[in-house]
Amino acid sequence: MLFFLSIITKRKVKPSLEEMAISIQNGDEQLLNNVLEDYKPFVKKTVSSVCKRYITDNDDEFSIGLIAFNDAIWKYNQTRGSSLISFAEIVIKRKVIDYIRKNAKDNTVGMEQASLSDENSATSSVIENSISVSEYEKQQEASNRGEEILAFQKQLQQYKLTFQELVENSPKHEDARLNAISIAQLIVQNRELKSYLLEKKRLPMKKLEKLANVSRKTIERNRKYIIAITIILMGDYYYLRDYLKGRLDI
CATH 1.10.1740.10 in the chain: give the residue spans.
17-115
pLDDT of res. 129: 44
pLDDT of 93 > 50? The answer is: yes
b/e 115-150 (16+ beta carbons within 10 angstroms → b):
eeeeeeebeebbeeeeeebeebeeebeeebeebbee
Query: Which is more confident, 139 or 240?
Result: 240
Tell me the average pLDDT across 131-153: 67
Query: Which is more confident, 161 or 245?
Result: 161
- 17-115 placed in CATH 1.10.1740.10: yes
Query: Which is more confident, 9 or 68?
Result: 68
pLDDT of res. 8: 36
Tell me the average pLDDT across 78-103: 82
pLDDT of 230 > 50? The answer is: yes
Q: Residue 177: how many CA atoms within 13 Å on its side-chain side? A: 13
**Band (172; pLDDT cuts 50, 70, 90):** confident
Q: Residue 175: how many CA atoms within 13 Å on its side-chain side? A: 1
Query: DSSP 3-state assignment of 126?
Result: helix
What amino acid is encoded at 178 in this protein? L
In sequence order, what DSSP letters do the residues of 2-27 get, joined into one string? HHHHHHHHHSPPPPPHHHHHHHHHTT
The whole-angstrom separation of Cα 114 and Cα 100 is 21
Least confident of 46-60, 98-112, 149-163, 217-231: 98-112
pLDDT of res. 101: 83
Q: Helices 174-189 and 205-212, interaxial angle, to 10°? A: 110
The whole-angstrom separation of Cα 203 and Cα 196 is 7
In sequence order, what DSSP letters do the residues of 55-105 get, joined into one string? --TTSHHHHHHHHHHHHHHHH--GGG---HHHHHHHHHHHHHHHHHHHHHH
pLDDT of 66 > 90? The answer is: yes
Query: 193 and 230 in contact (C-beta within 8 Å)?
Result: no
Query: 69 and 20 in contact (C-beta within 8 Å)?
Result: no
